[in-house]
Homo-oligomer: A and B are copies of this chain.
Amino acid sequence: MPTKKKPQAIPAPERRGELLATAAEVFAAQGYNATTVRRIADAAGMLAGSLYYHFDSKESMLDEILSTFLGELWEGYDAVLGAGLGPRETIEALVTESFREIDRHRAAVAIYQKEARHLAAQPRFQYLVESQERFEKAWLGTLERGVADRTFRADLDIRLTYRFVRDTVWVAASWYRPGGRHSPEEIARQYLSMVLDGIALRR
């Protein structure tokens, strides 16, 4: 947790961040719907009603958690996509960036995995749909470039391949624990090795 908040006057935006981190952890552990505002408040050491001084609603906490996460994710992705790398290097960089993101925002990623689909139906979470579309465009485009320049195999259904790679990376958030045996970079390397070269021994 960040520094001690200053005695007074200043709005203490850090408090927001702390509370959101707490909320994200609980949402990830119990699921958004199953999480009561009271449990978040308990975890934050306050009463349920007090959260409403900081946030409009339970939903707006979720909103802020997800949009903050997606903001940072796209910062990283955009840097990769704008770097002019080849298809294979782009995939490698995106996967590595993804595992770093899982490391930094594990709770947010887990929430995203569980809740994105049904949240996407609400206007408020329209940006989830947009993000997903950009996401698909970036990955699918890279795979297509790779097939075209013979980096990737041409005999696979490309949408199936896209889903394979995408899922393969992100589900890791469901078991990944920051500070565990493997660093995000190490996990990325192993995953890339499996995705690119397969698990069968080459002869």
Interface on A for B, CB 8 Å cutoff? 29-31, 33-34, 88, 114, 117-118, 143, 150-157, 160-161, 163-165, 167-168, 171-172, 174-175, 182, 187, 190-191, 193-202
A157-B190, A167-B168 given; 8 more Cβ-contact pairs under 8 Å: A30-B118, A34-B118, A114-B114, A152-B199, A153-B199, A167-B171, A195-B199, A198-B198
Q: Which residues of B contact A88 (CB under 8 A)?
A: 200
17 contacts between A and B (CB under 8 A): A29-B118, A31-B33, A31-B118, A143-B199, A151-B200, A153-B199, A154-B201, A156-B193, A157-B190, A160-B190, A164-B168, A164-B194, A165-B199, A167-B167, A168-B171, A194-B198, A196-B198
Among B31, B153, B190, the residue within 8 A (CB) of A200 is: B153
Q: Taking the full assembly, how many copies of this chain does it contain?
A: 4
Most B CB contacts (10 A, CB to CB) among A31, A156, A157, A201 go to A201
